[in-house]
Each structure stands twice: as structure tokens, then as C-alpha cells.
Amino acid sequence: MFMGEYQHSIDTKGRIIVPAKFRESLGESFVVTRGLDKCLFAYPMNEWKVLEEKLKKLPLTKKDARAFTRFFFSGAIECEVDKQGRINIPQNLRNYAVLEKECVVIGVSNRIEFWSSENWDDYFEDSEESFAEIAENLMDFDI
């Protein structure tokens, strides 16, 4: 399980440190792709395969299903951590998540997320104000 919040910088070559606490659970290689809310999602291979199987089952005849799988898979890349504990994030993914200098890496159960510090601060501020309402809406899911 991934949890926690870590501040890191991304260099001009697109390299960012993956927090040491996340590296072992991610494995030798893992998948990074476009996430929701203008961040990047990173999945260990076993979680990626589970997600891939679920997405394969979406009906090809549904426009939203086609759009989501295109969005998700077209941005996906396989990553390996280098000897300094970094991964290289391609320019197209950096552009999508607006990763320019200061970043936040968070653990979210079965995945990690890469955020620009500014986007994370804005998201957190917005969701913090409505956290009680969000929690109330999720009560139907037995949380």
C-alpha cells in the first residue's frame, strides 16, 4: 500500500526522485500514465495488469469507454528507477501534469501520483473545504 506525501523537484531533463518508501513496492519496472485531475498515476505492474483487464472489458461501442482507454493507454510508459532513485518522465506527460520544478509525490493505496506543487496545493485547498461533503457522499460505499 502506498501512502504519504513527499516534496521533490523535477530537473530540466525530466528526472524526478521516486521516494524510497515507494520504490520497493513499485518493483523493478512500473507504469506511469496520465491520471485524473492533471496529475500522473504510477502503478506497479501487478496493479497495472488488473486495471488493464478491467479496461479491456469496457464496451468498445461506448464512446466514453473508448475515450477513456485512449487517454489512459496513449500516455502510458514503462519506467525503471535509476541508481539515484529517479525516473525520467517524458515531455508529453510533464506538459499534461504541468511538472516544471517543484513537485509532490503522494501515495494513494494501490498507486502513486505525481503532481506539480501548485496544482496539488490548489486541489488540496479545494477538496479540504468540501472533505466532509465528499465523505458523506461516499457513505453509500460503506466507508
Eight-state DSSP code of residue 140: G
Q: Are the CB atoms for 12 and 89 separated by under 8 Å? A: no
CA 81, CA 52: separation in Å to the nearest integer?
Answer: 22
CA 53, CA 82: separation in Å to the nearest integer?
Answer: 29
- Give the pLDDT band (50/70/90) at residue 143: low
pTM listed for this prediction: 0.92
Q: What is the mean pLDDT of residues 3-17?
A: 97
The candidate with the shortest Cα–Cα distance to 97, out of 87, 85, 109, 105, is 105
CA 11, CA 104: separation in Å to the nearest integer?
Answer: 14
Q: Are the CB atoms for 100 and 27 separated by under 8 Å? A: no
pLDDT digits (tens, 9 = 90+) for 30-39: 999 999 999 9
Coil, strand or helix at 142:
coil
- Give the pLDDT band (50/70/90) at residue 23: very high
How do beta strands 111-116 and 40-44 pair? Answer: antiparallel
Q: Which domains, and CATH codes, for the chain? A: 2-141 (3.40.1550.20)
The position carrying cell 483487464 is: 53
pLDDT digits (tens, 9 = 90+) for 49-86: 999 999 999 999 999 999 999 999 999 999 999 999 99
pLDDT digits (tens, 9 = 90+) for 109-127: 999 999 999 999 999 988 8
Coil, strand or helix at 125:
helix
CA 74, CA 114: separation in Å to the nearest integer?
Answer: 18
